[in-house]
Amino acid sequence: MLRNFFFYAFATLGTAACFAQQYEIGGAAGAGFATGSSVTSPAGSATTGFKTGGAFGGVVGHRMYSNLSGEIRYSYLRQDLKLSAGGIEPTFKGEAHAVHYDLLFHTKKSRSTKVQPFVAAGGGFKFYRGTGKEVPYQPLGNYAYLTKTQEWKPMISVGGGVKIALAPRLYLRTEFRDYITPFPSKVIAPNPAARIGGWVHDIVPMVGISFLF
């Protein structure tokens, strides 16, 4: 399934690049900071979620109007799973992959402007995956289990940033996204007597380079 995920993700990126009359392609790196969620059970409460980790991604975009462009983005997020209560914090190796399409609204219409702030909004999906080694006994199992499984979730993407022209076709990009999904309750599975709810906000600041063609 993961092989198919990458195939369709990069095929979509390539298709967008081929059909855009003027497009932008680039890469970036940063980190992901995901919010935690509460676990409630008869035993009390705990906190679960994802540890801070590195983020890497690529983008293919096209300028549709002077102040509006569209981008297809892929991001790899290193996100280990965690569970915390009473000073105990078991962790489990994990990762996530996000693919989405955003509309970018540029606050300055001229393409020749060297500094171009923008806001972004769009949607797509996020693939959560636990990659650690499962053991017969897991600490805090009366709250939840950190599992070696995978799960797709629909995703909302919002954010913003700024493009800075380093050369006529070369840009430095500093930006962030908030990747918002329902909580992945298969990857972090609540104990039958416990409950986990809410949404995951994954704040992902990144810095990168892009080329305009």
Determine the pLDDT at residue 12: 47
Determine the pLDDT at residue 136: 85
Residue 10 has pLDDT above 80, yes or no: no
From CA 16, how far away is CA 10, in angstroms rounded? Answer: 10
Residue 41 has pLDDT above 70, yes or no: yes
How is residue 137 written in tokens? Answer: 């006994």
Residue 205 has pLDDT above 60, yes or no: yes
For 104-128, write each residue's pLDDT tens digit.
Answer: 999 876 666 899 999 999 999 999 9
For 175-193, write each residue's pLDDT tens digit.
Answer: 999 999 999 999 999 999 9
Q: What is the DSSP letter of 82?
A: E
From CA 102, how far away is CA 105, in angstroms rounded? Answer: 10
Nearest to 176 by CA among 102, 79, 109: 102
How is residue 116 written in tokens? Answer: 């171009």
Determine the pLDDT at residue 43: 82
Q: What is the DSSP letter of 35?
A: P
Residue 73 has pLDDT above 80, yes or no: yes
Give the torsion sign (CA, 159, 64, 208, 72).
positive
Determine the pLDDT at residue 22: 81
Determine the pLDDT at residue 21: 54
Residue 19 has pLDDT above 60, yes or no: no
Determine the pLDDT at residue 4: 52
Residue 9 has pLDDT above 60, yes or no: no
Give mean pLDDT, residues 2-8: 48
- Alpha-carbon distance values, 112 to 22, 100, 170, 187 (Å): 14, 27, 12, 46
Q: Give the global pTM.
A: 0.87
Domains assigned to the chain = 2-212 (2.40.160.20)
The kind and range of the H/E element at 146 are strand 144-146
